[in-house]
């Protein structure tokens, strides 16, 4: 079977790496891909937003499945275009992708279906937002309702900070159109976890748990990023909590989307806060998380292509996934200055040496090949991922690999997975 994978980040490298292991795969094309994906298939010079070109390429090259990585083309309705052309596509429709593309819509779905989440109000006028925030006397979270590459969230301990955040979004337009409308939420206390589930419209299959690290600095300090690292499994999610998440979050969300006339297929990612009162939804994503995908797929033993085909055909109830019992940790190496301005074109060395370590895979996220060498092109550059007999062992191996990789102004957190280890996890 020929497969077209759309995207060029660390998530897409991990997906390409896993798809390439399938006995069902004939040819893998990645558009546009990166130097990492080129090791597993053929990179195609078509951008993720060139929908018609992507569909034409798929038709001309007998592609039978398109796998959509990033959120922007999903929100733009690329799955609908592939399906109209008679090509199966892994991912939600444009209508389904509203769960991530429009946070006001996702709040509507949550409230209409009694999904536990933070109390919130939506504003499209700064003066009204300012008045409301100023009336608060507790911490608030300000969110852009549109797509902001995982960065459109400000956690503000004081209402005055919330007013400044709202002004940056609505008046200064730091996120463009994505921040013209905002959500003002109560701040939830607890630990964040990432729950990813396959959904085929009616069946739900939950993947292994993971925990992301959004803030830039050690100890979860500094601005939010797209994600500085992740580990799997997340020991904080006990069997009891998982049952609660399935019953109170995933099932009513999928049922609610069906009742709304926007049935959901693909990956449903629920970002949750595990509070003293139970799990609460922070946000939905409509695609594999990045960097959670890297440790999750590192642990997946089953054929990812078969899993995706079952999702597209509505037969998830026919599959059973097998997982590596070991833990996985992914440490993101970023460009100095990220998530703000950063320099590009820095030469990267040591990737091959890092991958010589047992159970280490280095996923490319923001790289390019120039004159025969790998250079930086993005804020998040590499996702260094390792397996280990425990989270602590996986963490040690990941950081051992990180130490072998060098590029000017490289930055990474030193505490990825510490919280799991401090909790006394044996996972």
Contact at 8 Å (CB) between 409 and 336? yes
Q: What is the pLDDT of residues 398-408, one digit of tens each?
A: 999 999 999 99
Integer Cα distance of 148 and 397 in angstroms: 32
Q: How far from the centroid of its chain's Cα atoms is residue 244's Cα?
A: 22
Domain 125-180 CATH (choose: 1.10.10, 3.30.1490, 1.10.287, 3.30.70): 3.30.1490
Output the average pLDDT for the chain: 95
Residues of the chain with CATH 3.30.470.20: 191-318
Region 176-199 average pLDDT: 93
Helices (H), 179-263: 239-245, 251-259
pLDDT of residue 426: 41
Choose among 158, 159, 177: nearest CA to 169.
Answer: 177
pLDDT of residue 343: 96
pLDDT of residue 372: 92
The 3-class SS string of 124-158 reads CCHHHHHHHHHCCCCCEEEEECCCCCCCCEEEECC
Cβ partners under 8 Å of residue 413, min gap 6: 213, 216, 217, 218, 228, 229, 331, 332
Give the fold, CATH level 3, of 2-94: Rossmann fold (3.40.50)
Q: What is the pLDDT of residues 205-251, one digit of tens each?
A: 999 999 999 999 999 999 889 899 999 999 999 999 999 999 999 99
Whole-model pTM: value is 0.92
Integer Cα distance of 366 and 214 in angstroms: 17
Q: What is the pLDDT of residues 5-51, one digit of tens each?
A: 999 999 999 999 999 999 999 999 999 999 999 999 999 999 999 99
pLDDT of residue 363: 98
Region 171-182 average pLDDT: 92
Helices (H), 95-221: 98-101, 103-112, 126-134, 159-170
% residues pLDDT > 70 (the chain): 99
Residues of the chain with CATH 3.40.50.20: 2-94
Which DSSP category does 37 fall into? G
Cβ-defined contacts of 396-404 (< 8 Å, 24+): 397/329, 397/357, 397/358, 397/359, 397/360, 398/329, 398/330, 398/331, 398/360, 399/331, 400/357, 401/354, 401/355, 401/357, 401/360, 401/362, 402/331, 402/333, 402/354, 404/350, 404/353, 404/354, 404/357
pLDDT of residue 149: 74
pLDDT of residue 152: 87
Q: Give SS3 for 46.
A: coil
| Lowest-confidence region among 183-187, 196-200, 359-363 | 183-187
pLDDT of residue 424: 57
Domain 191-318 -> CATH class: alpha beta
pLDDT of residue 144: 92
Q: What are the C-alpha distances in Å from 420 to residues 5, 69, 400?
A: 33, 28, 19
Region 352-373 average pLDDT: 97
Q: What is the pLDDT of residues 292-315, one digit of tens each?
A: 999 999 999 999 999 999 999 999
Q: Which residues pair with 376 in a beta bridge?
A: 367
Whether the pLDDT of residue 290 is over 70: the answer is yes
Residues of the chain with CATH 3.90.600.10: 327-422
Residues of the chain with CATH 3.30.1490: 125-180
**Where residue 147 falls among pLDDT bands split at 50, 70, 90?**
confident
Region 111-140 average pLDDT: 94
Place of tokens 């909590």: 241
Domain 327-422 -> CATH class: alpha beta
How many other C-beta atoms are found inside a 10 Å radius of the C-beta of residue 172?
Answer: 10
Q: Give SS3 for 311.
A: helix
């Amino acid at each position: 079977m020929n497969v077209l994978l759309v995207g060029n980040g660390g998530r897409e490298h991990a997906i390409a790496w896993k798809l390439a292991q399938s006995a069902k795969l004939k040819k893998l094309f990645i558009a546009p891909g990166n130097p990492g994906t080129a090791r597993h298939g053929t990179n195609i010079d078509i951008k993720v937003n060139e929908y018609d070109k992507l569909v034409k390429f798929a038709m001309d090259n007998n592609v039978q499945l398109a796998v959509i990585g990033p959120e922007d083309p999903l929100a733009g309705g690329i799955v609908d275009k592939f399906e109209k052309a008679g090509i199966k596509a892994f991912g939600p429709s444009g209508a389904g992708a509203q769960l991530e593309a429009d946070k006001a819509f996702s709040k509507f779905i949550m409230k209409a279906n009694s999904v536990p989440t933070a109390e919130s109000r939506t504003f499209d006028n700064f003066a009204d937002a300012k008045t409301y925030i100023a009336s608060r006397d507790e911490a608030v979270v300000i969110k852009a309702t549109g797509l902001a590459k995982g960065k459109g969230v400000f956690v503000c301990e004081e209402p005055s900070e919330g007013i400044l955040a709202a002004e940056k979004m609505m008046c200064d337009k730091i996120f463009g159109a994505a921040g013209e409308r905002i959500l003002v939420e109560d701040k939830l206390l607890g630990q964040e976890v990432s729950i990813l589930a396959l959904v085929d419209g009616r069946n739900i299959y939950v993947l292994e748990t993971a925990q992301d690290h959004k803030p830039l600095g050690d100890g979860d300090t500094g601005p939010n990023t797209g994600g500085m690292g992740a580990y799997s499994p997340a020991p904080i999610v006990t069997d009891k909590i998982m049952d609660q998440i399935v019953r109170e979050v995933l099932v009513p969300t999928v049922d609610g989307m069906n009742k709304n006339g926007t049935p959901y297929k693909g990956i449903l990612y629920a970002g949750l806060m595990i509070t003293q009162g139970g799990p609460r939804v922070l946000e939905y994503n409509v695609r594999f998380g990045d960097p959670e995908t890297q440790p999750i797929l590192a642990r997946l033993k089953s054929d990812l292509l078969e899993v995706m085909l079952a999702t597209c055909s509505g037969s998830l109830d026919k599959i059973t996934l097998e997982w590596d019992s070991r833990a996985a940790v992914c440490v993101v190496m970023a460009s100095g200055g990220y998530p703000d301005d950063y320099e590009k074109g820095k030469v990267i060395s040591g990737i091959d040496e890092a991958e010589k370590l047992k159970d280490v895979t280095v996923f490319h996220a923001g790289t390019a090949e120039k004159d025969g060498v790998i250079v930086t092109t993005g804020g998040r550059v590499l996702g260094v991922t390792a397996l280990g007999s425990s989270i602590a062992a996986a963490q040690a191996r990941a950081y051992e690999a990180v130490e072998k990789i060098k590029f000017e102004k490289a930055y990474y957190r030193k505490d990825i997975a510490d919280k799991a280890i401090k909790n006394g996890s044996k996972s």
